[in-house]
Amino acid sequence: MRAASLALLLVALAGCMPSTETIDDATCPEESELTYDNFGAEYLATYCQRCHASAADDRNGAPSSITFDTVEEVRDHMDRIYARAAGDNTSMPPGNDDPPAAEREMLAEWLACGAP
């Protein structure tokens, strides 16, 4: 009985583990219409730039070298953004202001397409 209980516990905990999906695992859908102008800029302003903008008053521990002021800066850090905030990856942003899952999926798509 103990082995069965342990197995059930491990299965339950596996659902709580952070995702390890990387940008290399992602595919850009041919029909994607997401761009910086119609998605990326607003997403970043809403969920990322309170800590990752060069003009942020309180970066909450975000490294000063990691800023998302421009689409070029985002492209420089696409793999890291994807691993922390896109799709099933939910370690960023910290706190209670999590983006909805649908928006995280859109972020994953936009990044997988090269952040056009």
Inform me whether the pLDDT recorded for 47 exceeds 70.
yes
pLDDT on residue 19: 54
Nearest-CA neighbor of 34 among 100, 92, 90, 104? 104
Contact (Cβ atoms closer than 8 angstroms) between residue 105 and residue 29: no
Question: What is the per-residue pLDDT across 51-87, written as a single tens digit (0 to 9) for each?
Answer: 999 999 899 999 999 999 999 999 999 999 999 999 9
Inform me whether the pLDDT recorded for 3 exceeds 90.
no
Higher pLDDT among residues 93 and 8, named by residue: 93
Q: Helices 78-85 & 101-112, crossing angle to 10 degrees? A: 160
Cα 34–Cα 37–Cα 38 angle in degrees, nearest 5: 50
Inform me whether the pLDDT recorded for 21 exceeds 90.
no
d(CA 53, CA 41): 12
Inform me whether the pLDDT recorded for 1 exceeds 80.
no
pLDDT above 70 covers a percentage of the chain that reads: 83
H helices present in the chain, as ranges: 2-14, 41-47, 71-76, 78-85, 101-112
Higher pLDDT among residues 34 and 57, named by residue: 34
Residues near 110 by Cβ (< 8 Å), separated by ≥ 6? 32, 34, 35, 39, 40, 43, 116
